[in-house]
Amino acid sequence: MVGLGPKRKPSRKGSLADVPKNLLDEIENLENQFIVSGDKLKEITNHFVKELEKGLSKGGGNIPMNPTWVMGYPDGNETGTFLALDMGGTNLRVCEIILPEEQGEFDIIQSKYRLPEELKTGHADELWEYIADCLQQFVEYHHEEEDLQNVPLGFTFSYPCTQDYIDHGVLQRWTKGFDIDGVEGKDVIPPFEDALKKRGLSIKVAALINDTTGTLIASHYTDPAMQIGCIFGTGCNAAYMETADCVPKIEHYGLPPDMPIAINCEYGSFDNEHVVLPLTKYDHIIDEESPRPGQQAFEKMIAGLYLGEIFRLVVVDLHENKNLIFENQDISKLKKPYTLDASFLSFIEEDPFENLRDTHDMFQSRLNITATKPELELCRRLSELIGVRAARLSACGVAAICKKKKIESCHVGADGSVFNKYPHFKARGAQALREILDWQKGKRDPVTLSSAEDGSGVGAALIAALTIKRVENGNLVGIRDKDAFLQMVEK
């Protein structure tokens, strides 16, 4: 038997040798549209820094830069039992988190509930009733014989909110494909707590937080080098710790200049004015046909919700308007908007075979399209271009915070489906950071992205604990329902 040596891992370097000239020309055209140079990344980042500053000013700007009233990091000595509610773009998660005496440790029990699609465009009452039902199911299952009183809840509500207090929040606008009537411009806490009271649940929202703020706090709890929390998933966002003297729009509170306060950037809305982002015609179509045209410009170029749709729009254009691919084939399944998500692109990029057999079979089974090898090569290159652009642009937000805060070295806690599951996203983002911040070659990256702790569960519980602790210490800034907090403290 001939010795073949150690088995090699499958690899797919790809070859365009058998791709006809008309498709090669189109690939080059797509590269010209989607590739973002290092110089362009620096231009975007410099504009980003200005937009962050503008968001903190009294007049505000495109990026909301919402003060969260999370005032400082945990020290590891937080203890107690807390409930956490996580309302993301797809699922609702209910958690019970126990913070024991041991520093930096936690125990968690959790259940997940699917958010029905019809709820996302329904009415406000239906939303709060559904969430309260899920919470009631969880409590009754885990505490059947117990009489729970004044249980503090950290509510992760991952949508842009204006917060004058940590236990209240006015929804600025829906994102992630939600468009529920009767919520925008209103405080989300009273109707939710009313739904809880109807069910006899003695639960008090101690903190309304964003998943990104939770990611920052939870990650710092286990790694004090974490100074930025990021989400790259259905949407995109970042949070970091600012000092009160750098937030002009809250100066009327008279806070000590050096008091820390976490800022939830909500920077998916960066460059809504289309000043600097390298938009393609496909990006313009996504914006125009979205529920919120003119909003979330940055998010629509890098978030998981939109990556598959960008791919779909390009492929349909190449078939219908340029007659370049899928000749004489029925592409009706591709005509439905948002029929593809980021996982479709991930699958193509991860196809290990030179002949792209897995991709061929997926086109056949999912879309009823029989693609030729050159067509598959084009689709693979397109997937790479969209994925690389998303990762490189995402680095601009991180770099902008580092430049604004003069952070030379830190860890960045990142979470979300795109960061965790999209192939090469982390490495591509790291390369973009090197180009933007001009790091020396051959040395360890001073700013590194790593997987975050559970921000929307553990982070929410930690923030509830931090808030109760500062109330105990007499710091009632940013607390609306002081009596309820005092009851939780006495408990």
- Residue 317's Cβ-side half-sphere holds a number of Cα atoms within 13 Å equal to 14
Distance between CA atoms of residues 32 and 428, nearest Å: 18
Of 86, 93, 167, 173, which residue is the catalytic one?
173
- Which secondary structure element, helix H or strand E, spans residue 66, and what is its range? strand 66-67
Question: What stretch of H or E contains 107?
Answer: strand 107-114
Count Cβ atoms below 10 Å from residue 282 Cβ, excluding itself.
22
Long-range contacts of 297-300 (CB under 8 A, 24+ apart): 297/269, 297/270, 297/271, 297/272, 298/236, 298/267, 298/268, 298/269, 298/270, 298/271, 298/393, 298/397, 299/175, 299/235, 299/236, 299/268, 299/269
Select which of 86, 93, 158, 454 is catalytic: 158
Phi (first) and psi of residue 176, to 5 degrees: 60, 30
Would you say how long the chain is, in residues?
491
Distance CA 77, CA 72 (A): 13
Q: Which helix (DSSP H) or strand (DSSP E) does residue 208 occupy? A: strand 203-209
Take residue 377 and report the two structure tokens written for it.
């090569």
| CA atoms within a 13 Å half-sphere pointing along the CA-CB vector of 453 | 25
Ranges of H-type helices in 296-372: 299-302, 304-320, 342-350, 357-367
- Identify whether the C-beta of residue 372 lies closer than 8 Å to the C-beta of residue 329: no
Q: For strands 66-67 and 260-264, give the pairing.
A: antiparallel
Please confirm, yes or no, whether 158 is among the known catalytic residues. Answer: yes
Establish whether 211 is a catalytic residue.
Answer: yes
Q: Which of 211, 271, 351, 454 is catalytic?
A: 211
Pairing of β 226-232 and β 107-114: unpaired
Whether 296 contacts 265, CB under 8 Å: no
80 touches 488 (CB < 8 A): no
Other C-beta atoms closer than 10 Å to the C-beta of 24 total: 15
Give the C-alpha separation, 19 to 1, whole Å: 38
Q: Rounded to an integer, what distance in angstroms lies between the CA atom of residue 221 and that of residue 225?
A: 10
d(CA 68, CA 166): 6
Q: Is 434 a catalytic residue?
A: no
Q: Give catalytic residues, as residue numbers.
A: 158, 173, 211
